[in-house]
Amino acid sequence: MSDVVAARDLSKWYGEVLGLNGFTATFGPGITGLVGPNGAGKSTLFKILIGQLRSDKGDVRLLAEDPWNNVPLKRRFGYCPEHNQVYGWMTATRFVETLLRLDGLPAADARTKASDALELVGLTKAKDRPLRTYSRGMRQRAKLAQALAHDPEVLILDEPLSGADPIGRVQILRTISKYAREGGHVLMSTHVLYEIERVTENIVLIHNGKGIASGNLHAIRALIDKHPHAVRIDTPQPREVAQAVAGMDHVVGIEMSTADGLLVRTRQPDAFYRELPEIVVDHGLDVRGLESPDDSLEAVFRYLVG
């Protein structure tokens, strides 16, 4: 299957401010996370994808089509904007229904689909309340409902977890996962790093308008060979373990982080994991657990942006 999104050398200026700077990346099927700090260019990229911003340079395709002024393409995606201002006087039902009517759905179908979508995001009980009475998390869910109510092929979600309460976050992630399992594609931007790991390993990292890495989270991490890989060792004998692993050629640093553990940095994680059991046995050490904090997306991102 062709890429859901293909962007090549995409640039966008806001006057003298650079929104995107030669962004190049492809987003495949399933869920892809677009990760970057505020101002990195995530929203700019999404606005270009939905045809509401025109790139100054480069080429972009959504579902193999140019999104700028492409009205028929709008039926094929659902968009959940980042901003939290919606028509507060509307009930959630009316809000979703109105946007479905703009898709061309007859009134009865729009009402049914709105009700279904609100049920999917867990807003059935509150669906007849005005949106101004909603919490921020509930509004996020209402926006998600309008994005997926018309059964789009692609969901484009700009910071869907922003401001959501814990229950709302779970509900949103559950909805996104269900949608993807049923064959939909999701592009989701966030800076809530640990939560995107729950739904996907496919990520695109963006910083200062540039795509700095894309692919599988672990594959990206493996590419960063110039950065030492950190391994946290849980042991009641941190000093003894430190002395034992210090002799390994590829170990470049050891931190005695806590009384019952230490953090080892190695340039060859594969060799480290292969050799450690032998060292533990030879020295009669008590090692109770290993954990790699580098598996977290945050660590990858921190490394990549320096």
Partner 1 sequence: MSISLPTYTRRETPLLGRRDRLRTIVSTGLRREFKRPAAIFTIGVGTAITTITAIFFVLFAPFLLQGQPLDLRFFYLPASNLAVLFFVTLMASVVGAGLIADDLDSMALTLYLSRPITPSDYLIAKAAILAALISMISVLPLFITPLLGLLLGLFPWDTALAAMGLAVVVGSVLTAWYTSIALFLSSLTRRKSYAAAGVFGVTFGLWIPAQVLAAPTALNSPDLLYLAPWEDFLAIARGAYGVAGGPIDWPVALAILVAITVLAGLATYLRMRAVEVVTG
Residue owning tokens 């293909």: 6
Task: Decide whether 104 or 277 has the Cβ nearer to partner 1.
Answer: 104
Q: Is 133 in the site for partner 1 (CB under 8 A)?
A: no
CB of 163 to partner 1, least distance (A): 15
- Over the window 32 to 51, marking each residue x when it contacts partner 1 by CB under 8 A and - when it does not, the resulting string is -----------xx--x--xx
Q: Is 128 in the site for partner 1 (CB under 8 A)?
A: no
Q: Provide the β-strand partners of residue 158.
A: 189
99: tokens are 């946007």
Span interacting with partner 1, options 76-84, 181-189, 192-200, 205-213, rule CB under 8 A? 76-84
Rounded to the nearest angstrom, the gap between the alpha carbon of residue 254 and the centroid of all alpha carbons in its chain is 31
Q: 10 Å Cβ neighbour count for 72?
A: 7
Residue 241 has, within 13 A of its CA and on its CB side, a CA count of: 27
Which of 37, 54, 181, 249 forms a contact with partner 1 (CB under 8 A)?
54
Task: Decide whether 16 or 278 has the Cβ nearer to partner 1.
Answer: 16
Q: What's the CA gap between 190 and 141, in Å, rounded?
A: 15
Q: Is 99 in the site for partner 1 (CB under 8 A)?
A: yes
Q: How far is CA 221 from CA 35, 228, 232, in A?
A: 15, 10, 16
Span interacting with partner 1, options 67-75, 160-168, 243-251, 267-275, rule CB under 8 A? 67-75
Which of 37, 59, 104, 198 forms a contact with partner 1 (CB under 8 A)?
104
Q: Are 272 and 231 contacting, i.e. CB atoms less than 8 angstroms apart?
A: yes
CB of 306 to partner 1, least distance (A): 26
Q: Is 183 in the site for partner 1 (CB under 8 A)?
A: no
Q: Is 109 in the site for partner 1 (CB under 8 A)?
A: yes
CB of 223 to partner 1, least distance (A): 31
Q: Provide the β-strand partners of residue 23.
A: 10
Q: Is 136 in the site for partner 1 (CB under 8 A)?
A: no
Q: Is 87 in the site for partner 1 (CB under 8 A)?
A: yes
Residue owning tokens 């049914």: 112
Q: Are 182 and 132 contacting, i.e. CB atoms less than 8 angstroms apart?
A: no
DSSP for 257-279 reads EETTEEEEEES-HHHHHHHHHHH
- List contacts with partner 1 (CB under 8 A): 14, 43-44, 47, 50-54, 69, 71-72, 74-75, 77-79, 81-83, 85-87, 89, 98-99, 101-106, 109, 146
